[in-house]
Amino acid sequence: VPAFNGFNKAPDTIEEAREQARHCKACPLWEPATQTVFGEGPPDAPVIFVGEQPGDQEDLAGHPFVGPAGKVFNGALEAAGIDRAQAYVTNAVKHFKFEPRGKRRIHKTPAVSEVKVCRWWLEQERELIRPKLIVALGATAAAAVIGKTVTIRDTRSRLIDLPGGDTKLLVTVHPAYILRLPDPEAQAREQALFEEDMGRVKAFV
C-alpha cells in the first residue's frame, strides 16, 4: 500500500500505524473528536472485527467497542465461545462523529467521503495483520471492506472470498442495530441471529 494520508511512509507495524493515526487530519472529524480510536488486538490475530466508528464512550476511552454496543458485541462473543482478546477489533472510521445536543453528543453516521479517506487505515490493518477472516459489523463496515455499497440482506452470514489472498469476509449486523429495536421479541430474535453469526466466526479463531 503506498503512503498517503499526509504520511510519507506506510507503517511497517501496527504500533507504527497506531502512532501515525494518532496525528491523522485526513478528514475533518479529527478536530471535534477527543482522540483517534485505533484498532486493538494481537498483530497476528486470525480475525478482524470491523465496526462503523467509535461512539461517545469509545471516543473518551480511546478503545473500540467499550460502550453499549460493545456490551452486545461482548455478549455475543461470549455466547459463541470466542475470546475477544484473540481478535483484532477496529472500526471503518477512527474518529467519533457527533452533533452536540445540550450536554450530550449524538452519534452521526460518517459520510461516504470520510469512510473512503479512513479506509487507508483499515487497509494498513488488513495488510499488516493478514487475517483469515474479516467480520463486518453492519453495512458501513462491509462497504469499507469491500470498497462498494452492499446490503446486509444480500451479504449476511455467508463466507465471501475477498480478492487477492486467503482472507474471507463475513457480514453481519451492527450490534447497535439490535439495541435500537423497540420490540423486545425482535431484539431477542436478532440477538440470536447475531450469536449464530459469531458461531460461524468461531471456526476461525
Contact residues for ligand URA, defined by CB under 6 A: 51-55, 58, 64-65, 67, 69-70, 91, 176
| C-beta of 41 vs 64, nearer to ligand URA | 64
DSSP code at position 109 = P
State the minimum distance, in angstroms, from the CB of residue 63 to ligand URA.
Answer: 8
Give the cell for residue 116.
473512503
Q: Report the nearest approach of ligand URA to the CB of residue 47 (Å).
A: 16
> CB-wise, 64 or 131, nearer to ligand URA?
64
SS (H, E, C) 105-129: EEECCCCHHHHHHHHHHHHHHHHHH
Closer CB to ligand URA, residue 69 or residue 133?
Answer: 69
CB atoms within 10 A of CB 62: 15
Nearest distance from C-beta of residue 112 to ligand URA, angstroms: 16
Contact 143, 108 (CB under 8 A): no
- CB count within 10 Å of CB 162 equals 15
Q: Rounded CA gap, 54 and 38, in Å?
A: 9
Helix/strand/coil for 36: coil
Give the residue with the Cβ less far from ligand URA, 53 or 167: 53
Q: How far is the CB of 137 from ligand URA (least distance, A)?
A: 6
